[in-house]
Amino acid sequence: MITEQDLQRAITTFERLREAIAGVIVGHDTIVRASLIALLCRGNVILEGVPGLGKTLLVRTLASAMGLKFSRIQFTPDLMPADIVGTDIITEEAGHRRFSFSQGPVFANVVLADEINRATPKTQSALLEAMEERTVTVGANTYALEEPYIVLATQNPIEMEGTYPLPEAQIDRFLLKANVEFPSVDELVQITVRNTEAGGIEFPASVATADDILLARDVVRAIPIAEGLREYIAHLVLATHPTSEIATPRIRDYVEYGASPRAAIALIAGAKAHAFLEGQPNVRHADIEAVYKMALAHRLVLNFRGEAEGIGTSELLDDVWSKVPVV
Amino acid sequence: MTNFGQFVRAIEQRAAAISGLRTSAHALFLASSAALIASILIYALPEVAIPIAAKAGLLIALLSVSALGYLAGRMAKKDPARLLLEVDLRLGLGERLSSLYELRLRGARSVFRNHLEATLSELPWDRRRGLPVPRRVRYTFALSALFAIAAVLFLFLPPRTHAVIAATTVLPESSSQTIDVIGDMPVGLSDRDVPLPESLESGESSAVVRESPTEQFRLEDVLSELRSAEGTSSSIVGDASPDELGHLINEQRAMVEKIRELIESILERIQQEGGGLTDTERDQIRQQAGDAGDPQLAQSLMDLLDESGSDPSGVEDMLESMLSTVDVEDPGPDTGESEGASQSIPLRENDPNWTPDLPTGDSSRPDDASPGSEGASTEPDESDAAGDAVPQETNMPGHEENPQLEGGDDEQTAETLESDSTQPGFAREEAPSTIGSSGEFSSFITEGVPVELPQLLDPDRDVLTVDFERIQSILHTRGVPEDVIDTVRKYFELITQGGS
């Protein structure tokens, strides 16, 4: 049971964490918030944006501020699953040779899967178990990953040649998907100042521990949400299905598959985390709205007509949002 | 908020009341709509008699439906979680009420429950603002109330009748006939009899006309509208009243009579003495030509003056020709020349082959040959000696000189028809006619409409049937503008209610 002290501790932890991140990362409030929400919800985030926007920096800062182990995997077409999860190698010890498991880069707390869509589906799928089950199976052995664990994947939307778009099953395992926007003029100026003056970027010292993060997760799970809002979220998710009775005409026209039940879970969990970050004792409609697109946009599969007409899932979700009543 | 449970119960009660109002409004709307339709039908169908008790029962039924709807709506189950969420959203409480309800429902004490209760105790909130009566319910109630009021008004208004004129006309004793003309008797109007206009009461006729909605279209109003209509032909008499019109026609007759006497005296002198016109006679003719109202007649007189100067020998022939023309043009019954006039009319009433339907411009008819008629055989203007108009004074059944009722002599009939056909326009006349199957009534008839009594009268009942096609035909023949014809049609339909 969450006590007042637990609540205050969790709140303090994340306030400090946000301050530490803000000392390094300029702007990018959306992706910082998305990363923290995913961390609080035991989820993973996919960040989409052109290179050079600070995605890697954000992830490293996050890991540094939390005092967690960080690893980065640059996905390439020739990357093999064993390169990620690790492999059994023959070791010799006291005159005996035996296989011992050498951990791959997924064995960390914060994993940055950079340009994840450049690896083959086989390699991409190697992350599935780690992302969802928090375990890694090599041969006959299964290894647990250390909590807190979060995978932050990036993908470049402009260089699609030679890439392997993430299969629906895999992309559904990402709690949120956030678009990394280009910084504004003021933010860009500030970025240049931080990178070109004095000693350059200094990663923050650890302001939180793994226990703090896990406690905050428990706090977030305890945040109440009204039954009516749960039903509302269920209606929102169902409305994205073209075969649903409450689907909007645009959804029927352009969507092949709607959001999965994972989307509803992500929406509620994300709304709770958002409420926590906002210092609210309960989930509000505004919290749902804040994570609505991040939780659902990457889960909609457009049909041929939608693809051909260049329909964006974001505008379809706007349509659903405007048509589904709260009460 | 000291007691969340009480608060939730209060919200539930208010929601139940609103639900009851919503159901009640819908039920009342349906019931009042049905009541309004029914009351309109009852109003439009006077033969459907609804007792007062039934009308009062309708009101009670409406109220009962509303009350039952309210009770049914109240009994509908409400979900407090949704109600509280609705209040949250309406008052902008950040969904705290519904979240707190969720926590209390689980019965768990948590730090968040404490926070929520603490926050809500500080927030001002208004239950009515949180759950207001929906605007749609208010509008539905207002509309239903209007419908109900309208239904009650229609129910208690006097019913509309087909032809509410009911009259009993006692015809002159000399006619030895009494025609009872009884229209539909309006319910509840039996004590509102009003006397007939004087014109109908004259001629030893006593009648009463029951007040009816048709009186909003009085004959005088229709006539004045006809007179004021633009493009009204001369046959509609412009602004002249019927009295003025009669006066003018009498003057015209007198003038024609003077010319005839002058021509006769000149012709007699020439036949006795021979020769042409004297200067005195020329002056008299010139003066009469100037005074003659008829331009054709004046032109004939001027031609006579011109011819007498160039060819005195042909004057006698011209005078004889002119005399015959004047005879035809003057159909006055008391001029002594009515014999000639009557001869110009082939006594249609006695002609078995003659039909009362008025063909326009039928050149085969004998009266078309009369000078000045210009082929408009049905046009009873001054120049048409064989006018088809209804006799103004004698077309009333039961009139002692009416040949249709008395079987009187043809000559007298012809004279009567002729004399009245010279006065165009409309005049209030009492003539029996029928209103479909609902009975007869004594009302107004349009002067000039050729009511050929032998053909139109029902020999068994002595009632006259007039249909609008005949009137329309006459009006078209006279070139009466369409808007005026429409006015006549409306009046006709009003007084006959679609009958004849």
| pLDDT, tens digit, 9 for 90 and up, residues B282-338 | 888 888 877 776 777 777 788 877 777 666 667 777 778 777 776 655 444 444 343
- Tell me whether residues A228 and B110 touch, CB distance under 8 A: no
Within this chain, do residues B302 and B391 fall inside the same structural domain, yes or no?
A: no
Tell me how far apart the alpha carbons of residues A11 and A9 are, in angstroms, rounded to a whole number.
Answer: 5
CATH class (in words) of the domain with range A225-327 = mainly alpha
Q: Which of B93, B122, B156 is the last residue before a domain boundary?
A: B156
Within this chain, do residues B417 and B473 fall inside the same structural domain, yes or no?
A: yes
Kindly give the confidence (pLDDT) of every residue in chain A, 327 residues in length, as a single tens digit, with 9 standing for 90 and above.
Answer: 888 888 888 999 889 888 888 888 888 888 888 989 998 998 999 988 887 778 888 888 888 888 888 898 998 888 898 888 888 888 888 888 888 888 889 999 889 888 888 888 888 888 888 888 888 888 888 888 988 899 988 888 777 777 888 888 788 889 999 888 888 888 888 888 877 877 777 788 888 888 888 999 999 998 999 888 999 999 999 999 999 888 889 999 999 999 989 999 999 999 999 999 998 889 999 999 999 999 999 988 888 988 888 888 889 999 999 989 888
Q: What is the 3-state secondary structure (H, E, C) of A53-73?
A: CCHHHHHHHHHHHHCCCEEEE
Q: Which amino acid is at B54?
A: A
HSE-CB of B303 using CA atoms within 13 angstroms: 12
Q: Which amino acid is at B241?
A: S
Q: Which amino acid is at B379?
A: E
B221 band by pLDDT with thresholds 50, 70 and 90: low
B413 band by pLDDT with thresholds 50, 70 and 90: very low
User: Domain for residue B52, yes or no?
Assistant: yes
Q: Is B186 exposed, middle or buried (0-12, 13-18, 19+ CB in 10 A)?
A: buried
User: Domain for residue B362, yes or no?
Assistant: no
Q: Which CATH superfamily is domain A1-78+106-199+207-222 in?
A: P-loop containing nucleotide triphosphate hydrolases (3.40.50.300)
B493 band by pLDDT with thresholds 50, 70 and 90: confident
- Tell me whether residues B82 and A6 touch, CB distance under 8 A: no
Q: A177 versus B132: which is more confidently predicted?
A: A177
- Domain residue spans of chain A: 1-78+106-199+207-222, 225-327
Within this chain, do residues B11 and B143 fall inside the same structural domain, yes or no?
A: yes
Hey, what's the torsion of the CAs at B14, B16, B20, B25, to 10 degrees? 50
CA B123 from chain centre, in angstroms, equals: 70
Contact indicator for B451, B365 with CB cutoff of 8 Å? no
B380 band by pLDDT with thresholds 50, 70 and 90: very low
The per-residue pLDDT for range B256-291, each reduced to its tens digit, is 888 888 888 888 888 888 777 888 888 888 888 777
Q: A320 versus B208: which is more confidently predicted?
A: A320
- Tell me whether residues B95 and A285 touch, CB distance under 8 A: yes
Looking at the complex, does the CB of residue B132 fall below 8 Å from at least one CB of chain A?
A: no
Within this chain, do residues B464 and B396 fall inside the same structural domain, yes or no?
A: yes
Q: Which of B138, B156, B174 is the last residue before a domain boundary?
A: B156
What are the tokens at A95? 């005159």
What are the tokens at A227? 């039954």
Within this chain, do residues B185 and B299 fall inside the same structural domain, yes or no?
A: no
Within this chain, do residues B228 and B283 fall inside the same structural domain, yes or no?
A: no
Q: By C-alpha distance, which of A150, A163, A157 is closest to A106?
A: A150
Within this chain, do residues B420 and B477 fall inside the same structural domain, yes or no?
A: yes
Give every CB contact of residue B93 below 8 A, 6+ residues apart in sequence: B87, B120, B123, B125
Q: By C-alpha distance, which of A151, A155, A173, A152 is closest to A163?
A: A155
User: Domain for residue B493, yes or no?
Assistant: yes
- Taking contacts as CB-CB distances below 8 angstroms, the residues of chain A near B100 are 224, 282
Q: Which of B313, B330, B347 is the last residue before a domain boundary?
A: B330
Tell me how far apart the alpha carbons of residues B417 and B393 are, in angstroms, rounded to a whole number.
Answer: 9
Q: How many CB atoms lie within 10 A of CB A131?
A: 21
Looking at the complex, does the CB of residue A223 fall below 8 Å from at least one CB of chain B?
A: yes
Percentage of residues in chain B with pLDDT exceeding 70? Answer: 50
The total domain count for chain B is 3
Within this chain, do residues B253 and B135 fall inside the same structural domain, yes or no?
A: no
A327 → closest Cβ in B86, B101, B119: B86
Looking at the complex, does the CB of residue B457 fall below 8 Å from at least one CB of chain A?
A: no
- Taking contacts as CB-CB distances below 8 angstroms, the residues of chain B near A228 are 81-82, 84-85, 98
R_g over Cα of chain A? 21
Within this chain, do residues B140 and B208 fall inside the same structural domain, yes or no?
A: no
Q: B203 versus B145: which is more confidently predicted?
A: B145
- Taking contacts as CB-CB distances below 8 angstroms, the residues of chain B near A271 are none
- Taking contacts as CB-CB distances below 8 angstroms, the residues of chain B near A7 are 111
The per-residue pLDDT for range B357-371, each reduced to its tens digit, is 443 434 334 343 333
What pLDDT sits at residue B324?
Answer: 76
Within this chain, do residues B273 and B396 fall inside the same structural domain, yes or no?
A: no
User: Domain for residue B54, yes or no?
Assistant: yes
Tell me how far apart the alpha carbons of residues B489 and B297 are, in angstroms, rounded to a whole number.
Answer: 36
Tell me how far apart the alpha carbons of residues B413 and B152 are, in angstroms, rounded to a whole number.
Answer: 56
- Average pLDDT score over residue span B166-171: 39
- Tell me whether residues B84 and A229 touch, CB distance under 8 A: no
Give every CB contact of residue B146 below 8 A, 6+ residues apart in sequence: none
Within this chain, do residues B64 and B207 fall inside the same structural domain, yes or no?
A: no
Whether the full predicted model's pTM is greater than 0.80, yes or no, is no
Range of the domain at B261: 242-330
**Beta strands B431-434; B208-210: pairing state:** unpaired
